[in-house]
Amino acid sequence: MEQFYTIQGEGYNTGRAAYFIRLGGCDVGCVWCDVKESWPIDAHPRQSIAHLVAAATADAGRNVVITGGEPLMHDLAPLTAALHEAGCRNWIETSGAYPLSGQWDWICVSPKKFKAPLPSVLAAAHELKIIVFNKSDFAWAEQHAALVGPDCRLYLQPEWSKASEMMPLIVDYVKAQPRWQVSLQTHKFLDIP
């Protein structure tokens, strides 16, 4: 759908320069999704792997975030192999609703109520990022934390439109349950992509 060089705004790698590749197509249907224009899988021009790798490596940073849409609706083995061949570090943003494909250096799983994550993807996560939209999401977050590995980082990120309402609850929760951390969509405060 689009590519851009920016700063990773969310989660464990917040603040690091990264080249984003946003792949079209998602059928998960989150009511609050902030990139709904990514949903139609055929609405976006196709690009060759060679072009994407050349664009990613033309910039100084070598961290590449594959996002979407739901990137795991595509077979990511060829793209991630080519990126690794070119010396990139491959990071993914996924809901976990489709089987994992590709070679990854960092896997961020952000599970959704609208289409459940696969246990195999949760087990492979380096980072679990729960979007907090209402107060029932804390119990839901714990259900998913029980399904990730022991070294997986745990993040609570406010849904953007509910941030002022949810942030006090998130702060209290993290103080009471310090294995969780706060994640904010810092790129939206910085007004960058």
Ligand X SMILES: C[S@@+](CC[C@H](N)C(=O)[O-])C[C@H]1O[C@@H](n2cnc3c(N)ncnc32)[C@H](O)[C@@H]1O
Q: How far is the CB of 176 from ligand 2KA (least distance, A)?
A: 27
Is 9 near ligand 2KA (CB under 6 A)?
yes
Q: Which of 33, 116, 163, 174 binds ligand SF4 (CB under 6 A)?
A: 33
Query: In Å, how far are 66, 87, 134 from 51, measured between CA atoms?
Result: 15, 15, 41
Contact present, 126 and 152 (Cβ < 8 Å): yes
Binding positions for ligand SF4, 50-69, rule CB under 6 A? 68-69
Q: Which is nearer to ligand 2KA, 8 or 90 (CB)?
A: 8
Site for ligand SF4 in 122-151 (CB under 6 A): none
Taking the least distance from each CB to ligand SF4, the nearer of 24 and 102 is 24
Task: Please check whether residue 78 is in contact with residue 49, taking contact to mean a CB–CB distance below 8 angstroms.
Answer: yes
Question: Which residue has its beta carbon closest to ligand X?
Answer: 110
Checking phi first, is residue 29 left (phi over 0); if not, alpha (psi -120 to 50) or beta?
left
57 binds ligand 2KA (CB under 6 A): no
Question: Can you name the residues that pair with 153 across neighbouring β-strands?
Answer: 127
Q: Any contact of residue 90 with ligand 2KA (CB under 6 A)?
A: no
State the Cα–Cα distance between residues 154 and 170, nearest whole angstrom: 13
In the list ligand 2KA, ligand X, ligand SF4, none, the entry touching 9 (Cβ below 5 to 8 angstroms by class) is ligand 2KA
Cα separation, 162 vs 155, whole angstroms = 17
| Contact partner at residue 157 from ligand X, ligand 2KA, ligand SF4, none, CB < 5 to 8 Å by partner kind | ligand X
Residue whose CB is less far from ligand SF4, 39 or 53 = 39
Residues of the shown chain interacting with ligand SF4 in the complex, contacts defined by CB under 6 A = 26, 28-30, 33, 35, 38, 68-70, 95, 112
Binding site for ligand 2KA (CB under 6 A): 6-10, 67, 93, 187, 193
